[in-house]
Amino acid sequence: MPSLDPAQWAVALLALFLVGYSKTGVSGAGTVGVALFALVLPAKLSTGVLLPLLLVGDVVAVAAYRRHADWGRLVRLFPWVVVGVLLGAVVVDLVDDTRMRELIGALLLSMLAVHWWSRRRGPDDPFAQHRAVAAGAGILAGFATMTANAAGPIMALYFLAVGLPMLGFLGTSAWFFLLLNAFKVPFSVALGLITPDTLLFGAMAAPAVLAGAVAGRATISRISPKVFERVTVALTLLAAIRLVTL
């Protein structure tokens, strides 16, 4: 089981709180959580430890928003997501921990660039509705989630770009990540990323994810999305640079 000192435990629990918060509140918090978690654990180990904890948050999110999913959009996305997961599994098996950490940082920086580009094009851009965009988003999300548990920003940008309302965004995201993370479990077990020790660690840390999910559900209607988005982008940028330059 991972051995952490008190400061590392504090960072890990904050990261998991943000992961839980992202499931029922503002999804950008999850990117910060993933980056922070990869700073206190070896990069490959962090992906295996996080997956069962992500599923805890997914179950809470589905329980809260299950009636608001856009199933037509999910059906169009998943074949491409499967392709991305398979590609990601190959990469995880080939790279070492240093390259994995750099990959997580590079993915986060790439997502920030996409976020900026999307904002520049505006919310009514018809390009987002094209099938090729759904295919690209699905493949990139599958790859990012398998290699870094970092599909959240990709899908957040995609769901916003296609115009899903708030509840539709939350419900579609909840089901998307529950199904996606469950699909990843056999691959993570086969790659040695999920073990009895990582599950024990996850059981000890799960209350932080649950606390974050409860907080997200309680505050989603009372926060300023613009302010939180700016803070999330700034923290993600700092964490990504830190991962790339370690």
Least confident span in 66-75, 87-96, 191-200, 211-220 = 87-96
Quote the pLDDT of residue 101: 65
Quote the pLDDT of residue 188: 86
Quote the pLDDT of residue 239: 66
Q: What is the pTM of this model?
A: 0.79
Least confident span in 32-36, 88-92, 125-129 = 125-129
- Sorted by sequence, the CB contacts under 8 Å of residue 246 that are 6+ apart come out as 101
Q: Identify the band that residue 177 occupies on the pLDDT scale cut at 50, 70 and 90.
A: very high
Q: What is the mean pLDDT of residues 93-107?
A: 72
DSSP codes joined into one string, 116-162: HHHHHH-TT-GGGGSHHHHHHHHHHHHHHHHHHS--HHHHHHHHHHT
pLDDT in tens, 110-123: 767 766 776 676 65
Q: What is the mean pLDDT of residues 25-45?
A: 78
Quote the pLDDT of residue 214: 93
Q: How many CB atoms lie within 10 A of CB 14?
A: 17
pLDDT in tens, 114-165: 667 766 766 555 555 667 778 888 888 888 788 777 777 778 777 877 778 8
pLDDT in tens, 181-212: 999 899 889 888 898 988 998 899 999 999 99
Quote the pLDDT of residue 122: 61
Mean pLDDT computed over every residue of the chain: 82
Q: Identify the band that residue 14 occupies on the pLDDT scale cut at 50, 70 and 90.
A: very high
Quote the pLDDT of residue 219: 87
Task: Give the Cα separation of 57 and 138 in Å (integer).
Answer: 21
Task: Give the Cα separation of 215 and 149 in Å (integer).
Answer: 21
Quote the pLDDT of residue 121: 66
Quote the pLDDT of residue 11: 92
- Whether 173 has a pLDDT exceeding 60, the answer reads yes
- Whether 167 has a pLDDT exceeding 80, the answer reads yes
- In the DSSP assignment, the letter for residue 68 is G
